[in-house]
Structure formats: structure tokens, C-alpha cells
Amino acid sequence: MKLENYITGNWITGDGDGQQLYNAVTGEAITAASTKGLDFKSILEYGRTIGNPALRKMTFHERGNMLKALALHLRNHLDAFYAISYKTGATKADSWVDIEGGIGNLFANASLRRKLSNETFVVDGESHNLSTNNTFMGTHILVPKEGIAVHINAFNFPVWGMLEKIAVNLLAGMPCVVKPATVTSYLTEAVVKEIIRSKILPEGALQLICGSAGDILDHVGSQDVITFTGSATTGLMLKSNPIILKENVPFNMEADSLNCIVLGNDVTPDMPEWSIFIKEVRKEMTLKAGQRCTGIRRIFVPENKMDDVWKEIGKSLSQTVIGDPLNATVRMGSLAGQTQRNEVKEQVQKLLSSSQIIYGSLESVDVVGADANNGAFMSPLLLMNENPWATVPGFSTNPSHEVEAFGPVSTIMPYKTTEEAINLSKLGKGSLVSTIVTADNKMAQQYVIGAASHHGRILVLNNECAKESTGHGSPLPLLVHGGPGRAGGGEEMGGLRGVKHYLQRTAIQGSPSTITAITNIYQQYANGKDPGKHPFTKYFEELEVGEQIITEKRTITSEDIDRFADLSGDHFYAHIKTTDFEGTMFEQQVAHGYFIMSMAAGLFVDSYEKNPVLLNYGIDELRFTKPVYPGSDIHIRFTCKQKLLNDKRVVENPEDMKRGDDIEKGIVKWLVEMIDETDEVTGVATILTMVAMKG
């Protein structure tokens, strides 16, 4: 029996016997994977012509809610996924990171919809006035690319590795084809079968190939996006494909890297940071049996603490029970397969040219509830390199900074000063993550600023944050995941940053009224619309962007300013009429900016009866651009700038309901321009109101 590939709307098995896949714990054959005979050109074209138009028609809010629905659906099938995950050699904790971590990624990306308008495009960044008379301007928009995302994953996170990528491209509005690491692709297949069964995604949005990627990269085009997670060597080979170079296809790579952890010079055995450091190293060496792209490969310790540290690490590792993941006492399972174990041992042999094993055995391991030889089990290995600066024949520098053993293997090395630790960290030529454990914030600053150029993420770990820290090896959906140099130069996830990899940024230019019509966001100086009645009397659905009122004028008096000073307690010298204004920025007593803003509300708020406006949600981009003196006549130009959906808060327990939770509502942004008798803008702000929906 072979795994099925989900392509062109059908489940299809590849030709031939395929690659045999085994239970990593028992060594028993499970299934086989084959993509032989698949038409990869047709697979990509199907995604472009069927999946892409369907997703592009959806708004960002619709796609975000689609991800949320998918996450909720998959959460109902955890038991089935966990049962399969054990066969990959993963413990319950390993599987939690992979399965529920992946589903959590869907939830996190779904939440990004709140930062985006309910449109099929995004306005990116600020608008720019490009003319003297305010008739010509420019801004940027982002639209989904018209191709397909190709995700090639060589690392053994069969669920997280897929979901963390597809969450981003689906939110952006691009379909994808996923090629997981073959050795554990049977778990990916099970999850995709549940996704397809749910019918939550439009047809063509997701395709799966289990096995070789074949010639898929020979058929990509300029509108496609490729992501690769795996070894730097393989990534370079794929990235060098002539078609990719010719078509300038975006290639986002996350490669294996020599991530490191540093014990600060300030940390001593009696400090909590000492045990935090030991626990972090042990966790990173044993979680997922060290098979994580973010795993700690290099451990830098002050030279006068080397003996104490490695002995503590060894003691901690000795307490880690290894064996069958189904056994409740087991804390570390097997590697993903025999091939993986053999590769790790080969890499360790290279490391031993400059290091020695100080904990563990390359040849044997004690396991519980399993056979060490039939299963892909391996002892954690702690190596020591006492001279990390030494160049070794056959290597450009030192193997510890060049060779990664993708398993439960780390090398401990000494350093003298923080500056030396920084420079040692850089010898890895780029990593996904580095951690420094220190209670000294000045040392933390020195390390972070000094080392940041060579690491995609830096965790500063101390007693203040340790209990809630997600740890060295946990990439987070709202932060970038990637790194420079050897780590691939890519940037996965990162909130909206990750979404933008799948969008095309285009500058648009025109009159403010035209740009308003295109973007559905009111641009300053565009023509306003007569709302017919006060906008505050309209429900969310009834409001139109560009609806505008011009208020009556109010004359600002010295008495107004005095009263506001007394009421607010703000007696700044510029607001006091007896001040000698020689040498100041002002000619005479000046009105408080916040008084003008408050007065503006009094002019534009329709306050006589209850209306659909539920509350003031906040003020953005408030600027005071011209002093307002006593005698100035101020009026307000008040314009509906943008409408944003606001999802109803969902609570499982009715007792958790808050007042207003049952009201359907949206957020409306209003442009407030405060204008004086010379027709100049003295202040500008964007206020946000929560407005009830009629339906």
C-alpha cells in the first residue's frame, strides 16, 4: 500500500514501488511513497487556474476566517494525528509542538485579518502628497500574485512544517503545493486528507505530493513563490535552477544552521539563570531527538566554568529516559528513521576531528520499551571543543562552525569575553536563532547588538522571563523565522511580513479622489460626499467612505484656554497668557492641542440622542501642525476614512459574555481636520469609533 498524492482535485498513487517508509520506533514497514508518473506541470497549472482565482476572489477577512475554521476543524481530530505521530519517533511533547503548534499557526495567521481591510488587496504604508496644490499623490497597494506557492520541506515536522507555510500563503490569497519530508509524509497525508474532507478550502488551494519533487521546479514561473526548508547544500542546488534564475522566481529558504547558546559571564551556579541554562540545553538536545532546524548545536561557556557546566549538562541528560514514545516515562523518542541516524553519525565523525565526546555513546543507547537497533534510537551526544578558533585541515575554519549533526548532538566551547562570544557566534556564518542567558542587561545589549547581524532571532533568557518564555527553539507566527547567510537568507512567518512574500507591491499615482475610489480609503484632499444626514446616525453598512461634513465655527478665547488648563492640570508655560514669549516658539498664549481636539469632538459629535455609534475606540496619527491663538475661528472637516470589520467575540461559556458581545459591529476610521479662519489645517487626526451594524 502506498501513500496518495492529492493533485488536480484527486487522490492519486504514484507509479512503481516507491520509497519504503518505516515505523521509526519498531523498524516495521508502514507504507511507501511515490510521485513517479505525476505530471508536475499540470499540478502547478491546476493550482494557478483553479485555486488562485478562487482565493483571489475572497477578501482577507474571508480568508482569515477560513483559516480559523480550518484550525477549529483540525483540533477535533487530534487523537488520530497523535496516534500516527508516535510512529515518527515523536513523544507526546514532540507531537504537541508539531501538531498543535501547527494548528496554532493557523489561528495566529487567522487573527491577522483584523489588521487588514475587508478587501482583496492591501494598502501598504503611508500615502504621499506629490504636488503643491494637493491634486496629485501616490501610495502602494499589495495584491496576491497570480501563481502558486511551492513548499518543499526536508525537515521532519510533518504537520507544523506544512501548516506554518500554508497559513501564510492562503491568507495572502495564493494556492500551494506541499512536498513534505518523505520519511514522515504519512502523517502529512493524514492531515491533508482531513483538510480536504472538511471542504473548507476552495478546490485547488492545496495540493500534496508525497515523495520526490521530480521536475516541479522546471515548470515554475515569475508569479510563483518557492519556499524550501532543509539543508543549505540542497537549498543552493534548488535555488540555482536555471528556470528560477531566468524567471526571477522568489525563493524563500530556511536552511540548517549552527544555532548557538551563550552562558553570560555574570552567571554563577547559585543564580537561577544557571539552572535555566542547563534546562534549555537539555530540552533543545532531546526535544524531537534534536531534529529541529532551530536546535542548539554550539554551546559557548566562560572558560572558567567549562567543567562545571558540561558536568551539569551530562547529569541532566542522564536523567532523560529514551525509548518508545508510547511509554509514559519516556522523554526522548527516536530519530525519524535509520537513514537519518546514519547521517547524524557521519556528521559526528567529522565533528570529532576537532572535538571529543564527553557525554553519550555513538555506538549504543539504553532504551525503554523498544529495540535500540530496530528503532532509530540514538544517545544524546555532548561534544567538547577546547579550541574553537583552531583551523582544521579539510575545513575552511573549524568543523564545530561548519558541520551540523541533525540530531541530539551539541558541542560545548569556551570563551573569554562577551566580545569573543559574539565573534564565535558569527563563525557559524548565519543562523536561525541564538540565545544568551544572562541577568546583566548591559551584557545582553552588548551581545544582541553585536551579534544580531548574523542571527535571525535572538532570545535573551533570564529569571524574569523564563517561566513564560517559549524557549530557544520555538519560532513564533508573529515574529520572523529565518536567518542570514547559511540559514538561507529567508524570512518565514513574521505576521504581515510573511504574508507580503506572496503579494505584489505596486505603486499607484493619481488624484486624491481617484486613489480614494481605487483603495476605498479616503485620502486627504479628495472630494467629499454629502452624507444626507449626520454620519453618526448611520449604521455600519449604511456608511460610505468619503462621506463628509463641515462643522460650524467656534472662536477660541483666552478664557477657554485658562479653563482647560485648570480642568486638565496642564499649566505648561505656553498656555499661560502672562508668559514672556520672547525666545519661545509662540507669539502669545497658545491653545492646548488636546483642547482643540476635544473641542473638535464637540463640533462633529451628534450628541442629542442614542445612535449607532457605540463608543470611541481611540485616536491614531494625531498631529498639531499650527498654533491656535485666542481669537482663532476653528471648524472641522470630518470624513469617513475607512471601514473595518470587527468579529463578534466568541465565548464558550455564557457567563463569560460581556455587555455588548451580542452586538454586531464594525470599526470606522474618521479623518478629523481642524481648520482655522485662514483655511489652514491646524491639526489632523484619525479617530476610531465602534459602530453597530443594522443586520
Q: Could you give the residue numbers annotated as active site?
A: 254, 293
Please state whether 630 falls in left (phi above 0), alpha (psi between -120 and 50) or beta: beta
Annotate 479-543 with three-state secondary structure: CEECCCHHHCCCCEECCHHHHHHHEEEEEEEECHHHHHHHHCCCCCCCCCECCCCCHHHCCHHHC
Q: Closest Cα partner for 425 from 469, 393, 457, 391?
A: 457
- C-alpha to C-alpha distances, 595 to 13, 569, 678, nearest whole angstrom: 71, 12, 20
CB 304 within 8 A of CB 296: no
Q: Which residues of 656-689 are buried (b: 16+ CB within 10 A; e: fewer)?
A: eeeeeeeeebbbbbbbbbbbbeeeeebbbbbbbb
Q: Tell me the C-alpha distance between 603 and 637, whole Å.
A: 10
CB 547 within 8 A of CB 536: no
Number of neighbours of residue 553 by Cβ within 10 angstroms = 14
Q: What is the dihedral of CA 583, 589, 593, 596, to 10 degrees?
A: -160
For residue 529, give the C-alpha cell.
Answer: 460626499
Q: Show the beta-strand stretches assigned E in 625-664.
A: 633-646
Annotate 386-445 with three-state secondary structure: CCCCCCCCCCCCCHHHCCCCCCCEEEEEEECCHHHHHHHHHCCCCECCEEEECCCHHHHH
Q: Tell me the C-alpha distance between 616 and 488, whole Å.
A: 46
Q: Tell me the C-alpha distance between 167 and 67, whole Å.
A: 7
Q: Closest Cα partner for 462 from 264, 297, 269, 330?
A: 264
For residue 119, give the C-alpha cell.
Answer: 478587501
